[in-house]
Structure 1
Amino acid sequence: MMNAQTVRATLEKDPREVASMFDGVARRYDITNTVLSFGQDRAWRKATRRALRLQPGEVVLDLAAGTGVSTVELAKSGATVVAADFSQGMLQAGRWRKVPMVAGDALHLPFADSVFDAVTISFGLRNVADIDAALAELRRVTKPGGRLVVCEFSAPVVPVLRTGYMEYLMKALPAVARSVSSNPDAYVYLAESIRAWPDQGELAVKIANAGWSGVQWRNLTGGIVALHRATC
């Protein structure tokens, strides 16, 4: 049997491979992300919360929530936020956080239609096997007029930044991951999946094609990350 600590998913994104890979990085996932992003992950979480414009009393889905660190940030708004992830290892690693957690697949969410005032997914849409189906499933569980925010790696808009970023992804990031991650091979997949990901405009088209309206995006950190916002 393959040891979960050595699992590296392929870009084919077999759900079992991806879940096993995230199980393998769960123990040091949050600290690894902070190191690899030079602390920018905290600012990205705050920007996602603000983009959702959450109100006390609203019910929100935080999909691909991992250990729930993003869910805790969203809950600062006073909304009720449910963390969902398909990696049992991630949920287990974040079990001490005071947020509701549910095991769930982005392609088959365990929720009824039109139950959330807002839905969000941060750095997780890139890992699903069918992006279009996941966006449609998120729309299914959102109330009419509800909001979507996708926070995801994207394409730097300044050429010199883009060149340096790609060099970092393919050379420095795996090296840094070896010193801090519980599964460094997973971060080779991370780098490759970012390179293969649609740019800001292409993702906006996918979101609109899934039935969302008023799609807009805003670049963070020069386009290394983009926030896409839309309405159900």
Structure 2
Amino acid sequence: MAIDVPGAFDVGAPAYDKLVGANPGYHDHLRISARRMRIPGGGAGLRLLDAGCGTGASTAALLAAAPHAEIVAVDASAGMLAEAAAKSWPDTVRFVHSPIETIADAGIHGPFDGILAAYLLRNVTDPDATLRAFRQLLRPGATLAVHEYSVRDSLAAQAIWNAVCWGIIIPSGWRQTRDGALYRHLWRSVNAFDGSAAFQRRLSAAGFTGVHSETMSGWQRDIVHTFLADAPR
């Protein structure tokens, strides 16, 4: 069943930080993906895009990796964005309410010196068009990091993901919000998303170079990945 994804995130926003905070490694993994972008000089003089910033966890990870950069953080969910904007941020961080597909209409234009897209590509209508748009937003040679769940290439990863969703994530989400739509969508969308190899092919088809994937350690090995790709020079 299709759901209104931004609307589901609006409903889940007040409890979202508490729920992801109970996920071992959630924030560490975002910081690892941001560091894997290898942003030079702490981001001094650079402009970065946090695409699908949610409540700001990915924004914080990007800020830790590039404390001197200008960061534009965008999300389609007003509820999630309100949670993010209520936190303390330096003046170099700006939040914008917009679907990622129409950020130009919100006044957001390139070029960017790097893009971090965490848990976003599963939730857009046309991932290929979104990736092509990211390539156009990046300076030549700049890096896109897609931080995402991908389990289809590993039967063990699929089994662990399904067990964790139905044993922990979906019941916990229901207890916090009395609405399980967001967390059932999470379970379903991860199972439907590309395997690692297929998503790397998708990045290459969108015109990126240097495409590769690095996973995380621990129980989320082969479940959470950083997909890295460069805009062609």
TM-score tier (shorter) = 0.7 to 0.9
RMSD over equivalenced CA pairs, Å: 1.9
Aligned to 1:24: 11
Q: Which one-letter code corresponds to 1:229 in the other structure?
A: L
**Cα deviation code 1:84-112 (max 9, x no counterpart):** 01111111122223131012222222233
**Cα deviation code 1:11-70 (max 9, x no counterpart):** 4x6xxx1111111111111111222x2x21111111111111123221100000012221
Confirm or deny: 8 A CA contact 1:29 1:181 kept in the other structure: no
Confirm or deny: 8 A CA contact 2:62 2:116 kept in the other structure: no
Residue 158 of structure 1 deviates from its aligned partner by 6.0
**Cα deviation code 1:121-140 (max 9, x no counterpart):** 00111100110011111111
Query: Where do 5+ consecutive residues of structure 2 fail to align?
Result: none
Aligned to 1:84: 74
Q: Does 1:57 align with 2:45?
A: yes
Confirm or deny: 8 A CA contact 2:5 2:182 kept in the other structure: no
Q: Does 1:229 align with 2:228?
A: yes
Q: Does 1:40 align with 2:25?
A: yes
Q: TM-score under structure 1 normalisation? A: 0.86
Query: Where do 5+ consecutive residues of structure 1 fail to align?
Result: 1-9
Q: Which one-letter code corresponds to 1:166 in the other structure?
A: N
1:79-228 equivalences under 5 Å are: 79-97=69-87, 98=89, 99-110=93-104, 111-112=108-109, 114-155=110-151, 159-181=155-177, 183-220=179-216, 221-228=220-227
Confirm or deny: 8 A CA contact 1:60 1:116 kept in the other structure: yes
> Distance in 2 between the 1:138 and 1:205 partners?
16
Q: State how many pairs are aligned.
A: 216
Percent of residue pairs identical: 25
180-189 vs 21-30, which deviates more? 180-189
162-171 vs 99-108, which deviates more? 162-171
Q: TM-score under structure 2 normalisation? A: 0.85
Aligned to 1:3: none
192-201 vs 160-169, which deviates more? 160-169
Q: Which one-letter code corresponds to 2:193 in the other structure?
A: W
> Distance in 2 between the 1:175 and 1:28 partners?
13
> Distance in 1 between the 2:100 and 2:36 partners?
21
**Cα deviation code 1:64-87 (max 9, x no counterpart):** 001222112211222221110111
